[in-house]
Amino acid sequence: MIKFLDLQKINSGYQEQFQEKLKLVLDNGWFILGEEVKSFEIQFAHFCGSKHCIGVGNGFDALVLIFKGYIQLGKLQKGDEVIVPANTYIASILAILQADLVPVLVEPKLETYNINPDLIEDKITSKTKAILTVHLYGQLAEMNKINAIANQYNLVVLEDAAQAHGARESVQSSVFSDQLQSIKTRNSQLATRNSVAAFSFYPGKNLGALGDAGAITTNDDDLAKVISSFRNYGSEKKYHNEFIGINSRLDELQAAFLNVKLPNLDSENELRRTIAKRYLSEIKNDKIVLPNWDLSSNHVFHLFIIRTDNREALQNYLLENGIETMIHYPIPPHKQKAFAHWNSLSFPITEKIHNEVLSLPISPVMTMDEVDFVIEMINNY
Ligand SMILES: Cc1ncc(COP(=O)(O)O)c(C=O)c1O
């Protein structure tokens, strides 16, 4: 069986280093916000070409904490509207609600599955104060266009980079350090606009922990200060509480494991791109729509998404032939029971995507024989 994602295999390669880290943390006897968290925050900020990184409990909290930070700083107010793609994992939308803000859904482009920047302006009202972009499936959204709209309407931009660690070109979503200077110059306007990104290190992500974990990267000194306090009960100095915060700290052990894995993230993303290139050039079947990609590093292929009319038939056929696939995602957020008041809304492109997508196996531990087999089976379908 070719697993959709073999987490056991992905992590077993790191087993010895994980065990050394466990021993180190045990020997130190410091389990909350210790040296491993500090070190990860420095390394990940560097990796992203960002001034600050704040480690938090998970990707959802990362988003909520950014919104709460902006509310604390007076840049957002409860009840403000936030533009968000209709085609996203539900966490993006729930985070907006959790911060007492109002999500306004915008259709994606069928070519990219990301928010369609041309449809954003129509949804802007006097209450719109932010855009939450999502780099879905690992591909950067069209940030230049989105930032131009945000500048024009004076909106805050947040990036949900939960699926896009290491994707380049966007100021927060990761930049090699040797490219940092040129990117910073190119994005100097962005840097002054203080953009901010939220990351998830859920085990299945491109950079995955051995449990829940997340982080926020930003160049905004004030926002970083508020968030690092907010994640720790609103307290910077023990038992002195400046804000009404929460407890969402990056776990010391998870940070230790992430410190082991981070140096390999770029090469692992490259392996994903190698598989994606093969799928794109070798899958030849009229019944299958392949994703669009310009071969740049703007995509880290967290997921390799294909579309087909009769998805169930293809999924069953592949399973019968020993290939596990998944659906990201089967029900669009506006059709979820939790959002009963949205159920009658119509987002035809989002609905089409949710009806047709199927995710093929892709990961840094997949062998080329396995890739051969997936291609052969799909071509025979
Ligand atoms: C697009 C997106 N946003 C947010 C999240 C939330 O991350 P987490 O599961 O770490 O809370 C996820 C992860 O599942 C995600 O895919």
Q: What is the pLDDT of residues 189-233, one digit of tens each?
A: 333 345 899 999 999 999 999 999 999 999 999 999 999 999 999
H helices then E strands: how many in the chain? Answer: 14, 11
Q: What is the pLDDT of residues 256-266, one digit of tens each?
A: 999 999 999 99
Asked whether the whole model's pTM tops 0.85, one would answer: yes
Amino acid at 137: Y
Greater confidence (142 vs 193) lies with 142
**Residue 180 clears pLDDT 80, i.e. is over it:** no
pLDDT of the residue at 104: 98
Q: Angle at Cα 136 formed by Cα 179 and Cα 82, nearest 5°?
A: 100
Residues of the chain with pLDDT > 70, as a percent, come to 93
> How far, in Å, is the centroid of ligand 1 from the Cα of 59?
5
Instruction: Kindly report the average pLDDT of the chain as a whole number.
Output: 93
Long-range CB contact pairs, 143-149, < 8 A, 24+: 143/169, 143/170, 143/171, 143/190, 145/117, 145/118, 146/115, 146/117, 146/120, 147/189, 147/190, 147/193, 147/195, 149/117, 149/120, 149/121, 149/124
Q: Output the residue whose Cα is nearest ligand 1's atom 10.
A: 59
Q: What is the pLDDT of residues 258-298, one digit of tens each?
A: 999 999 999 999 999 999 999 999 999 999 999 999 999 99
**Residue 176 clears pLDDT 70, i.e. is over it:** no
Q: What kind and span of H or E run contains 41? A: helix 35-48
CB of 199 closer than 6 A to ligand 1?
no
* Whether 216 contacts 54, CB under 8 Å: yes
pLDDT of the residue at 195: 82
> How far, in Å, is the centroid of ligand 1 from the Cα of 91?
6
Q: Angle at Cα 186 formed by Cα 185 and Cα 188, nearest 5°?
A: 60
Q: Angle at Cα 142 formed by Cα 289 and Cα 116, nearest 5°?
A: 65
Residues of the chain with pLDDT > 90, as a percent, come to 92
CB of 139 closer than 6 A to ligand 1?
no
Query: DSSP letter at 114?
Result: S
Which atom number of ligand 1 is nearest to the Cα of residue 200? 10
Of the listed ranges 67-71, 179-183, 324-328, the one predicted with least confidence: 179-183
